[in-house]
């Protein structure tokens, strides 16, 4: 699974690959999240969450909401498992602490 830190305008966003065991953990957590009708806020400039690229799915994790887009349909889930925080910690360890600092501060 590829992880994209959606944060930069005018230059490529950082991307990295999760090891298969971490990908499985993240997908398992996503599978246990409760559905919601709530949508994340409209992203502005700067940090806009994470996009997980997995097979034919795109999964956005932002502001406590996980949105899965697959085959033209989008479903939203509450991030009760702390997936955004986990991804922010991973991004921080990769040198992007300034970008994800607010996410880490809130948790």
The predicted-structure confidence for 12-39, as pLDDT tens digits, reads as follows 999 999 999 999 999 999 999 999 998 8
Query: Under a CB-based contact definition with an 8 Å cutoff, are residues 64 and 24 in contact?
Result: no
pLDDT single digits (tens) 70-102: 989 999 999 999 999 999 999 999 998 888 887
Which residue range is the domain that position 23 belongs to? 2-106
Number of domains in the chain: 1
Q: What is the pTM of this model?
A: 0.90
Q: Which region among 1-10, 53-62, 70-79, 94-103 has the lowest average model confidence (pLDDT)?
A: 94-103
Query: Number of H helices and number of E strands within the chain?
Result: 3, 7
| Sequential DSSP letters for 8-42 | -SSSPPPEEEPPHHHHHHHHHHHHTPPEES--PPP
* C-alpha to C-alpha distance for 38 and 81, rounded to whole angstroms: 16
Pair of tokens at residue 59: 């999964």
Q: Which residue has the tokens 């994209």?
A: 4
């Amino acid at each position: 699974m590829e992880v994209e830190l959606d944060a930069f305008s005018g230059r490529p966003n950082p991307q990295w690959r999760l090891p298969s065991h971490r990908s499985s953990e993240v997908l398992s957590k996503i599978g246990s999240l409760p559905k919601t009708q709530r949508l994340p806020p409209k992203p502005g400039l700067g940090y806009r969450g994470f996009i997980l690229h997995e097979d034919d799915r795109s999964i956005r994790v932002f502001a406590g909401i996980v949105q899965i887009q697959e085959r033209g349909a989008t479903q939203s889930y509450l991030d009760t498992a702390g997936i955004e925080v986990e991804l922010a910690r991973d991004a921080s360890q990769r040198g992007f602490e300034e970008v994800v600092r607010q996410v880490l501060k809130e948790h």
